[in-house]
Amino acid sequence: MDLDLDRTDLAGLEAAMAAGRLTSARLTSFYIDRIAELDPQLRAVVAVDPTAAAQAAESDRRRAAGEPPRLLEGIPVLVKDNTSTGPQLPTTAGSTALAGSRPPAAAIATRLREAGAVLLGKTNLSEWSNFRSGRSSSGWSAVGGLTRNPHSPGRTACGSSAGSAVAVAAALAPVAIGTETDGSIVCPAATNGIVGMKPTLGTVSRSGIVPISAEQDTAGPMARSVADAARVLAAIAGPDPADPATAQAPAPPLPATPAARDLDGVRLGVLRVAEGASPETDAAFAATLRTLRDRGAVLVDPVELPGSADAAGAELTALVTEFARDIDAYLRSPGVTGPASLAELVEYNRRHADVEMPHWGQELFEAALATGGDTGRADYRAARDTATTLSRRDLDAALAGHRLDAVIAPTNSPAWPVELGAGDDFVLGSSGAAAMAGYPNITVPAGGAPDGDGGTLPLGVSLIGPRWGDAELLALAAAVEAALPERVRPPLPAAVLPADG
C-alpha cells in the first residue's frame, strides 16, 4: 500500500519500518527529492545535510541487526538554521556574517541523533530570529531569501521559524525544530496549518542555539499532529549542564505519547484577543469554542490578563539588553567564526548593507549595542521584572483562580500580504504572556479563512498551561485537535511514497 506522507504520523512510519515496508533510506531519499522539487519556490530549506543518506543507512543497519528502535529511529528531521547540527553544515541565523561558522552540535541536535533521527538539513528563518529591525518581514534572511507560505505564496509564513513551519506543512519532512522568544513557533505553525509547541522554558536545552534572550528563548517541535510533537519533545527534552535553566525541570521524563483524555469537564479560560480586528479569526474562534462546549468543556469566558499591556511594554527594553549580553557570549563561544561581538556584527552589516540590509536596517542591534548588555542597570532590572512577574502573576491567577486546565485563545489572524521593508502586519497574537512567563503554549489547527483567490488561509488556536504542565497540556491539545476539523493542507503535489519503492 502506498504511503501518503502528508497523512502518516510518526507512529505510522515506525510501524511501516518495523514491518519491512519502508526503510529510512527510502524515506530520506523521498524527502531530499521533494525538497529539490518544491523548495526552489518555497525557500524553506537552506541546506540538506550531505550525510543524511549515510545517517539513514546506519539506522536501517541497526534495525536489520535487531537492535531496539529508538524514539525517532530513522525519522528525518529538519532543524532551524540558528541551531548547530555539527560541522557538516554552517549555522548562520540567516546572516552571511556566519556563513562559515560550523560550531559543535547543539545539545538538542545531539539528543535527536541519540533518539535515532536523521538530521536532514537546515531551515530558513527570519534573520537573527527577527531581532534586527522593527521593519523586518518574517521569513526573510540574507542566506535563504524569503520563505513562501505554501497556502498563498504572496502572503507571510510568519516567523521567525518560518522555514520549519513551511517544511512540515509542505511535507518536506515529517517534523522540524523551531525556536521561540515570543511567537516564533506558534505563529508560523498556525499560519501554515500545523502544530507548534513552545515548551516551558528549561524543558529543552538552548546550548548551541543562536540566542536572543536566555530569559525567554526555547526550542520546540513543529509537526502535523500533537502526537508527533509530543514524540519529538520527549526526544529533545532533558537536562544539560551547559544550560542552567534545564536543572529546574521536574525529573520524570515527558511521555512520548500524550495521555488519553476527553473534553468532558475540562475547564478552559477564554482569552479574548483584539476582538473585532479580524472578523475571520473571530468567526473561527467562536466555532472552536462551540465545538469544545458541545464536547463537554466548561468555558470560563472571559478570563483577563490585566498586566499584559504593562508586561508587553517592558519586554523589548529587557530583550535588547539581554540580546547584547547573550549574542556576545555566543559569538565568542568555541567553533563560532565570524564577527566576535555585537559591535563587530553591526560593522559587518554596514559594510555589507547591499546583501544584509537591502530592505531594512538594524536599529534593534544598535539599541542593544547601546545598552552594553549591562543587566545590572536599574531600568533593565525593572523591565525584566515587569515582563516576567506580571505575566506569571496573570497566568497563575487565571489558571488557579478559575481552576483551569488551560487558557485558550486564537493564535493568529489570517496570513497577510508580504511587502518587504514595510514590516509585519500583525493584527493579533496571543503568545506574549506565555513567552514572557516561560510557560508552555501549543497551537493546533482550527479552521481557516478565505484567501480571496479560492483558497484557504489556516488559523490556529492556542492552549496555554502552567509552568511544567507540558505533559498535561499535550494531552489536552490532543483532545482539542481530535474535536476540531482536519488541518488545512496547502495546494501542493501529493507526498505519496509508492509501496514498491
Catalytic hit among 126, 152, 160, 213: 160
Question: Measuring CA to CA, how many Å separate 490 from each of 79, 140, 165, 480, 485?
Answer: 21, 20, 12, 22, 15
* Catalytic-residue membership of 95: no
Terminal-to-terminal C-alpha distance of the chain = 11
Helix (H, G, I), strand (E, B) or coil at 83: strand
At 41, the amino acid letter reads Q
With residue 270 as reference, give the H or E element that holds it. Answer: strand 267-270
Rg (CA), the chain: 21
* Catalytic-residue membership of 184: yes
129/141 Cα distance (integer angstroms): 9
* Catalytic-residue membership of 129: no
CB 221 within 8 A of CB 165: no
Nearest in space to 132 (alpha carbons), one of 104, 102, 93: 93
Question: Would you put residue 428 in left (φ > 0), alpha (ψ -120 to 50) or beta?
Answer: beta
Going by C-beta distance under 8 Å and a sequence separation of 6 or more, which residues neighbour residue 159?
125, 126, 129, 130, 138, 139, 147, 184, 187, 188, 424
At 153, list the grid cell. Answer: 505564496
Question: Measuring CA to CA, how many Å separate 189 from each of 46, 166, 224, 419, 459?
Answer: 19, 8, 9, 21, 9
Going by C-beta distance under 8 Å and a sequence separation of 6 or more, which residues neighbour residue 491?
150, 151, 455
Catalytic hit among 80, 137, 308, 430: 80
Going by their DSSP bridges, the two strands 140-141 and 267-270 should be labelled as: unpaired
CB 159 within 8 A of CB 203: no
Catalytic hit among 184, 413, 430, 462: 184
Give start and end residues of each alpha helix (H) in 115-183.
162-169
**DSSP 8-state symbol, 417:** B
Catalytic positions, written as ranges: 80, 160, 184
